[in-house]
Chain A
């Protein structure tokens, strides 16, 4: 299976530069990174992709069993690494993708050099017994998953907006002609389930590569407690808190995000 076409892989930037792989999280695709790519492309070889079931990945490659577990997404990542024969990859994972990076690096440590976790969360549901704040109650997640199922039409109507010609924002350019974050609602529901019901806390302690935890100051989806937990659990990790609101700093604070990634990626091991 040709992972390049299956996962809609884009390679840009410096062909001989160190590799930075940008992995999107739930609910979107590689377009999320568009505001940081130009910055990174000056110094790095940048690899972008869509997980199967998201963006413009090959829908015929969808496998409801495989992608019901984070291991399935890690396998996508490793397939791409194999096909491009990558090593010393700086893997930048957003939200749940940060955990995908942890799993991929655990399986093939030879491929990965560093790990950047952008607004990561190993577990979204609160675990009061363990004193863990995930940010959501179990009821919240039930409501979320149920709304994804039932608000199907709402999501599907909203999920395929065509980026219109925008005379007020000429800087957007004509590149943005495809639909933004268009996903099959059925596949999105599976990804959502996998994301929000997963618990990867146990995998954090075994991370061996240098890790940067990049969190937002005001993030409802991955609150400060989560960032603190991840930083505390991954041995030798660094924590940077961006003065940003929301869960997607690569969109709401692209300069700061790109800067933080570049510094960490360029810094010697």
Chain B
């Protein structure tokens, strides 16, 4: 209830107010509208969206100011002159022809179609379009009414989504590619590693006699264990004919591992063989080896080996054995009567570090049923399950329970023992058993 207080007499809206009740509300509404000076026409022309009406063939019949402003056209340039499709981009025209128009014809309505309009200056305006067909009283389609919404923000959002999606796809593809490359590299490394192992195996193999020869009246057996498949071992052995029924043998251990040790092993084997064939005397052979190693490896990188070398001479049904030791653990003798003892060769110096070294010589006779076992310190240095190393004493005890045993039997038993050490056996180990077969048994050979 407002009295005409005359505070603001120029406000025409306040005139006439004050009757009260529903009349008051209606009047207020009427005045509210009048204040806005709104009309249907004004609503149409200046709507927040674009309005467009076309004939059924697409010719533009009516267009609102908003859309004209967006596109930069004057009304006269569009009405009766252009078709809706003329305002579209090439892709839009295509889409209009193949989807928009047919759908509209079928359903009488399409909504929310994303298109791009061509402005008068050639720029592109992303829009969302909804069209409906207005029909006459008899159901005949008369015209198409189209609403155009500015989709710049929405399009920007869609582009962001699209970019993010492409980025994710690309990242995915790159990750996949990286993974595939890593896989390839891994496989390449693995096959390279496998190849190396193969080479090593071949090399290793070439450093050992392929098969022990069959010696008439003797049984020989051997075993070789490399601690690491990746490193060439430094242990070596050999058995070969010296002529006139005599046989030479040796077993030893080059210090160190790897290719340098392997080279020394190679040198050692061939030098010893040659020396034996020349001198026929184990100590002299070791002496020759000593000189060869000394000449070759000196000073800061001394290379040496330990070795036990010997000859076997058949005499009736016995085998006469002479051995010389260069810093090597003593040979083990398994007797036919079940006893076992070491063949002591104390004081021999390891081979290759000094001039005029002393190599201790010993002799023994192998009667039928006796076996001599040579080994490298990988056996006696092995860590047992309890911790302490296996030791010569343990080996001696084991040998006593084993005797009597033929060469193959002894090797088999010791192989089992070595395998029992598992990880405790961390050094290369070589075993060579030479036996005089017991009567009534066939030599099992190498």
Contact = CB atoms under 8 A, between A and B. Distances in A.
Given A141-B90, A153-B162, A251 B110 contact: no
B58 A153 contact: no
Interface in A64-103: none
Contacts, number: 101
Nearest to A143: B90
B93 interface: yes
B114 A176 contact: no
Contacts of B158: 153-154
B116 A159 contact: no
A245 B98 contact: no
Contacts of A251: 101-102, 105
Contacts of A26: 94, 98
Contact of B98 (A27, A164, A218): A27
Nearest to A176: B106
A252 interface: yes
Interface residues of B, number: 34
Given A147-B90, A157-B114, A176-B106, A181 B85 contact: no
Interface string B148-183: 000000010011011000000000000000000000
B107 A143 contact: no
Contacts of B106: 163, 169, 172, 176, 180
Given A141-B90, A147-B116, A158-B113, A166 B98 contact: no
A148 interface: yes
Interface in A139-184: 140-141, 143-144, 147-148, 150-155, 157-159, 161, 163-164, 166, 168-169, 172, 176, 180-181
Interface in A207-231: 218, 220-221
Interface string B89-105: 11111110111011101
A221 B101 contact: no
Contacts of B85: 220, 246
Given A27-B99, A180-B102, A248-B97, 8 more contacts: A28-B102, A143-B91, A144-B89, A144-B91, A147-B116, A245-B57, A246-B101, A251-B105
Interface of B: 57-58, 83, 85, 89-95, 97-99, 101-103, 105-110, 112-116, 135, 155, 158-159, 161-162
Interface of A: 25-28, 32, 136, 140-141, 143-144, 147-148, 150-155, 157-159, 161, 163-164, 166, 168-169, 172, 176, 180-181, 218, 220-221, 245-248, 251-252
